[in-house]
Amino acid sequence: MPRTLITSAIPYINGIKHLGNLVGSQLPADLYARYCRARGDEVLFLCATDEHGTPAELAAAKAGKPVDEFCAEMHEVQAAIGAGFGLSFDHFGRSSSPQNHRLTQHFAGALAANGLIAEVSEKQVYSNADGRFLPDRYIEGTCPNCGYDKARGDQCENCTKQLDPTDLINPRSAISGSTDLEVRETKHLYLKQRSLRDELSRWIDSKADWPVLTTSIARKWLNDGDGLQDRGITRDLHWGVPVKKGTEDWPGMEGKVFYVWFDAPIEYIACAEEWQDAGKGSDWERWWRTDKGAEDVRYVQFMGKDNVPFHTLSFPATILGSGEPWKLVDYIKSFNYLNYEGGQFSTSQGRGVFQDQALEILPADYWRWWLLSHAPESSDTEFTWETFQQDVNKDLADVLGNFVSRVTKFCRSKWGEEVPAGGALSERGKALIDDLQGKLADYTAQMDAIEVRRAAATLRSMWVAGNEFLQSAAPWTTFKQDPEAAAADVRLALNLIRVYAVLSAPFIPFSAERMLADMRTDEAAWPTDLSAALTALPAGHAFTVPEVLFAKIADETREDWAARFSGIRS
């Protein structure tokens, strides 16, 4: 049995995530996990919340809560929303878990033992009023280049000039506004990525099948300018994984924590240990250690484009540099951005539709279908209420929903709620099966290749083919002269509902489950031979005419939503 390990980029804890976050990582990962399971793979699908760093501390402060309490609560909120969207994680962990603390400290110790950690003294801005060192982007002041008075210590948003905090005129703390700042000397650990550059470069070169979006970003960081740079992996913060060398203290690093981008990907591994410790599985190392059974695991990661450098370079540098037999990623599926109505989605600015709001107004499958069928694979894509309404009404209500409704209602009116007997498969029926068999081959190939939009288009074309068959077979007309022929066509169409449910489940799992329940079957094996699969429901098999599977979105409702979500979420 093939074994597939799947991880989604772990969402940051600072707030409720938007639809861009969903389609850029967790949702396509779930699509693929569901597909792999349906094909019979043994799957471990992991995700977690990314909990450390300054933005988490500030979000907690804004909410008036201690940071650990804030993170624990927000983790539960995100877990519930994920369940609402049907995200089928085997475990949804936390980067703040004791397992991740231990493993992060372990990796740092292994890297140090291999001579890959440098201790560097540097100057950093300290805010006396805030009692803390300030990360560059939390220092604000006037841009020396253009005079903009809200320039950040890393960059001026107005003229885009890259800055150092010390370049700013009249610098102040972005947290408290205090100007009581001083430059202090502090010591940090650096991961010597430059020493691993050639090894990383060869590894990336060996990935000829990866999306260009993934490899082009990796190569840019490897080669542009002076090439891959060593990276600071510690911070002067309170909230995070305390700096240790394995289980030993690290002299000179007291009171410091690892940088969030060092510990976050390690959580992919620690999450498997959490999964085991939560009693959901056993033998977690068999997924992660090539010396303990992970040799035959295929590991696939999902993420938005801004996360690619960390997954193609920094995290692999941690793993390769440890010299230990941890599994490296086999395939990285990355995404461009989903934009919102002519601008960007933004958590910090409260712009767009957020995941909790989306679930309040419509069932998860509407979102899953639209987002996946418009996944930003080859370029950024845009969410607009108009295209959303149009596509959902057409694909789900007019095509799939309508097919299910027409077939079941017509059958009930002539034969009652059971699969009718009599007649033989018509030429038209045979042609439909041939057509669908070809489309199924395309669909599986596209799902294997994680070509999300193309797979969605092929699935939709299979739904359309069923409608066209029904339209041209017109059993409501043939019934009068040749009821046997009509019965055979309807029998095929009822069976098609079951097959649609199975094939569509990775995209729209809730509706697929309802379709199977209404067809009163739990026969959900992935079909290979459609001629056989389309006879699974024999004559006499009882079913229920479903309630409306997908209600259409009315123009007024769309206008209401467009207005409601045009502003800023406070």
Ligand X SMILES: Nc1ncnc2c1ncn2[C@@H]1O[C@H](COP(=O)(O)OP(=O)(O)OP(=O)(O)O)[C@@H](O)[C@H]1O
Check residue 159 for interaction with Zn ion (CB under 5 A): yes
Which partner from the list Zn ion, ligand X, none does 557 bind, CB cut-off 5 to 8 Å by kind?
Answer: none
The binding site for ligand X (CB under 6 A) comprises: 9, 11-12, 17, 20-21, 23-25, 303-304, 306-307, 335, 337-338, 345-348
Q: Is 347 annotated as a binding residue?
A: yes
Residue type (1 letter), 344: Q
Number of alpha carbons in the 13 Å side-chain half-sphere of residue 61: 10
Q: Which residues contact 408 (CB under 8 A, 6 or more apart)?
A: 417, 494, 497, 518, 543, 544, 545, 546
Complex with ligand X: residue 335 or 403, whichever CB lies closer? 335
157 or 198: CB nearest ligand X: 157
What string of H, E and C letters represents the secondary structure of 318-340?
Answer: HHHHHCCCECCCCEEEEECCEEE
CB atoms within 10 A of CB 367: 25
Minimum gap (Å) between residue 141 Cβ and Zn ion: 11
Which C-beta is closer to Zn ion: that of 150 or that of 220?
150
Q: Which is nearer to Zn ion, 18 or 152 (CB)?
A: 152
Nearer to ligand X, 11 or 165 (CB): 11
Task: Choose among ligand X, Zn ion, none what residue 158 binds, the Cβ cut-off being 5 to 8 Å by kind.
Answer: Zn ion
In the bound state with ligand X, the residue whose beta carbon lies nearer, of 20 and 506, is 20
Instruction: Give the nearer residue to Zn ion in terms of CB position, either 156 or 485.
Output: 156
Check if the beta carbon of residue 534 is closer than 8 Å to that of residue 433.
yes
Q: Which does 162 bind (CB under 5 to 8 A by kind): Zn ion, ligand X, none?
A: none
Q: Is the dihedral of CA 202, 207, 212, 213 positive or negative?
A: negative
As measured in angstroms, the least distance from the Cβ of 154 to ligand X is: 15
Strands lying side by side in the sheet with 231-232: 132-133, 117-127, 181-191, 231-232
**What is the footprint of Zn ion within residues 525-554 (CB under 5 A)?**
none
Q: Cα dist. 475→207, 340, 408, 463, 470 in Å?
A: 52, 44, 12, 18, 7
Smallest distance from ligand X to CB 162, Å: 20
Q: Which is nearer to ligand X, 90 or 382 (by Cβ)? A: 382
Which 3-state string (H, E, C) describes 346-358? ECCCCECCEHHHH
Q: Which does 148 bind (CB under 5 to 8 A by kind): ligand X, Zn ion, none?
A: Zn ion
Neighbour-count burial for 275-295, b at 16+ CB within 10 Å, e otherwise: bbbeeeeeebbbbbbeeeebe
Q: DSSP alpha helices (H): ranges in 399-520?
A: 402-415, 427-448, 452-473, 475-481, 483-504, 509-518
Closest distance of CB 140 from Zn ion, Å: 12
Is 369:401 a contact under the CB 8 Å cutoff? no
146 is in an annotated binding site: yes
Query: How far is the C-alpha of 393 from the C-alpha of 105, rounded, in Å?
Result: 51
Residue 11 binds which of Zn ion, ligand X, none (CB < 5-8 A, kind-dependent): ligand X
Rule CB under 5 A: say whether 158 interacts with Zn ion: yes
Strand partners, 48: 93
Annotated binding-site residue? 71: no
> 544: helix, coil or strand?
coil
476 binds Zn ion, rule: CB under 5 A: no
**Least Cβ distance, residue 555 to ligand X (angstroms):** 27
Partner interacting with residue 109 (select from Zn ion, ligand X, none; CB below 5-8 Å by kind): none
Which contacts (CB < 8 Å, 24+ apart) does range 251-260 have?
252/119, 252/187, 253/187, 253/189, 256/188, 257/52, 258/52, 258/104, 258/108, 258/233, 258/234, 259/53, 259/232, 259/233, 259/234, 259/235, 260/50, 260/52, 260/53, 260/95, 260/235
Site for Zn ion contains 155 (CB under 5 A): no
Q: Minimal distance in Å, beta carbon 330 to ligand X?
A: 18
The torsion angles phi and psi of 297, rounded to 5 degrees, stand at: -80, 135
> Closest approach of Cβ 350 to Zn ion, in Å?
25
**Tokens standing for 527?**
């079909």
- The smaller minimum CB distance to Zn ion, of residues 148 and 476, is found at 148
Binder among 67, 110, 156, 181 for Zn ion (CB under 5 A): 156
Q: Which of 83, 113, 120, 146 binds Zn ion (CB under 5 A)?
A: 146
143 binds Zn ion (CB under 5 A): yes
Comparison of 51 and 285: residue with beta carbon closer to ligand X = 51
Contact stretch for Zn ion (CB under 5 A) within 73-81, 144-152, 275-283, 331-339: 144-152
Neighbour tally for 343: CB within 10 Å: 11
Q: Within positions 28 to 67, which residues make up the interface with Zn ion, using CB under 5 A?
A: none
Q: Least distance in Å: CB of 9 to ligand X?
A: 3
Q: What is the DSSP string of 162-213?
A: B--GGG-EEEEETTT----EEEEEEEEEEE-GGGGHHHHHHHHHT-TTS-HH
Residue at token pair 């410091």: 256
Cα angle at 284 between 279 and 285, to 5 degrees? 160
Find the part of the chain contacting Zn ion (CB under 5 A) among 141-149, 188-196, 365-373, 480-488. Answer: 141-149
125: partner contacted, choices ligand X, Zn ion, none (Cβ within 5-8 A by kind): none
Least Cβ distance, residue 346 to ligand X (angstroms)? 5
153 binds, among Zn ion, ligand X, none (CB under 5 to 8 A by kind): none
Q: Which residues are annotated as a binding site for ATP?
A: 347
Q: Which residues are annotated as a binding site?
A: 143, 146, 156, 159, 347
Chain residues in the site for Zn ion (CB under 5 A): 143, 145-146, 148, 156, 158-159
Q: Which residues are annotated as a binding site for Zn(2+)?
A: 143, 146, 156, 159
